[in-house]
Amino acid sequence: MRRVLVVIVVALVFAMSLPHSNAKPAEPTNTGAVFGGQHALIENLTTDSTPIDELPAIAEDFTATWCSNCVQAEQVLDKLESEGLVQKYEFHRSPDYEDPLGDDFASSYITERYQENVPPLVAFNGTIKKHGTLPDSDSLESDYRAMIATPLGMGSGVTTFQWTPKQYCDCDIPDDSGIISWNLDINMSEYPDSTLSVNAWFVEQSAEFSDGGNGAGVYHDIVRNITDLGSELTGTKTVQIPSANDGNDLEIHLLYIINLPADETPEEPTCMLPEGCDEDDGLLPGFTATFAIVAIGAAAMLSRRD
């Protein structure tokens, strides 16, 4: 009888060690829309006016240089970006001793807004998100295309963006600064329970990190810093330009963020796997490991008694 118990315990431990097969499906964020994406190279004087319904979808990609699953997500996003369907932004996890490309404020923006603290996570237009890379349909690309097709719900309007580097400005501002101006022509009365946050995102086109655990080597569209510009539909501000990780390829992007009232729904447990989360784990690894150690010890004691 005790030998049978030993076999059962060992089999249970083995079953618990196997990864779960289901990733989280795409789900609404219930946080509000993210749109915009007009941008300029830091050294270029730029003015742009674009109807909101002609802007590409905003793809916010929570990633890390050690996350192997993230590479698959980014390859699909790069393809969609090459087709002009999305404007991709990589938010590298920070603080993270294995990833030097992240920014604490930018990383906390993602984790707080989407309630996920381990990559990979991709959100489109701020309204729909998918954690993990296991597809719900025939491919991850099909999943992302369906998510992009989700209506933004911002109605009609026009956004105007202007960037003035110091060398084009007859004004007294610091050398590492520039002036950003914006105008959002939209009827905010249609969103009575929401608030608007206007942001300048400083984005590095590419950065090299050969020691990244996922082997990508070069990473693209990295959000290096987020500057809050306030909540007015129209404004002008002097902003400080952060340092690039390498090279001279920084851009400034104008983003509008609609914030809906906080959802009081309790959060689900978050996966803590170091390689990224394709598994919808119901137990934390620490609990699983502890259970395994206890179970193996019990099996050994039963075996010795036999």
Residues 123 and 11 placed together within one structural domain of the fold: no
Residues 36 and 137 placed together within one structural domain of the fold: yes
Q: What is the DSSP string of 124-181?
A: ETTTEEEESS--SSS-HHHHHHHHHTS-----S-EEEEEEEEGGG--S---TTEEEEE
Answer yes or no: is 300 within a domain. Answer: yes
Query: What stretches in the chain show pLDDT beneath 50?
Result: 1, 4-22, 264-275, 277-306
State the CATH number of the domain containing residue 65.
Answer: 3.40.30.10
The label of the residue with tokens 């810093």 reads: 225
Answer yes or no: is 183 within a domain. Answer: no
30 contacts 260 by C-beta, under 8 angstroms: yes
The one-letter code for the residue type at 130 is: K
Q: Give the residue numbers spanning the domain of 9.
A: 2-17+282-305
Residues 13 and 137 placed together within one structural domain of the fold: no
Residues 122 and 36 placed together within one structural domain of the fold: yes
In the prediction, which pLDDT does 23 show? 61
Residues 36 and 124 placed together within one structural domain of the fold: yes
Answer yes or no: is 292 within a domain. Answer: yes
Pull the structure tokens for residue 18. 């196997």
pTM of the complete model: 0.80
Answer yes or no: is 238 within a domain. Answer: no
In the prediction, which pLDDT does 155 show? 75
Residues 55 and 9 placed together within one structural domain of the fold: no
CA–CA separation, 227 vs 168, rounded Å?
21
Residues 79 and 100 placed together within one structural domain of the fold: yes
